[in-house]
Amino acid sequence: MKYLLVIAHGSRRMASNDEVRDVVRQFELQEHDFDRVATAFLELDKPDIPQGLITAIEQGATDIVIVPYFLSAGRHVSEDIPAEVASVRKDYPNVMIKIAPYLGASDRMPEILLTQANEV
């Protein structure tokens, strides 16, 4: 089963975490090739990354794609998320877990910025 796990930082402000969940729910309504889609958080909300991955695996995921919902390649993207993934990957060697480029690395980011600027 192919599974998409969107990873956000997490916030003490629950409304911010719910915004991420809402984006993922909107994604689910689009046509895509994933059997399941979920959200996990680096910190400050649940599920955390290991639990999100373990839940996916328990649901039958054999191919997991992680998309970091981050705008820049700071420490969380370059170190923390890969470390969290590695901690789970070693216990489930038969599950393919891939980390996609973070959101801000998208070639469409300039277009998105222009769209946002034009909405003022």
* DSSP summary character for residue 67: E
Question: What does DSSP say about strands 2-8 and 36-41: parallel, antiparallel, or unpaired?
Answer: parallel
This prediction has a pTM of 0.94
Q: In Å, how far are 15, 66, 90 from 2, measured between CA atoms? A: 29, 11, 19
- Given 2.60.40.10, 3.40.50.1400, 3.30.465.10, 2.40.340.10, which CATH number is that of 2-118? 3.40.50.1400
Task: Please give the pLDDT value at position 40.
Answer: 98
- Overall average pLDDT of the 101-120 stretch: 95
Q: Three-state DSSP class for 77? A: helix
Q: Where are the domains of the chain?
A: 2-118
Task: Please give the pLDDT value at position 31.
Answer: 93
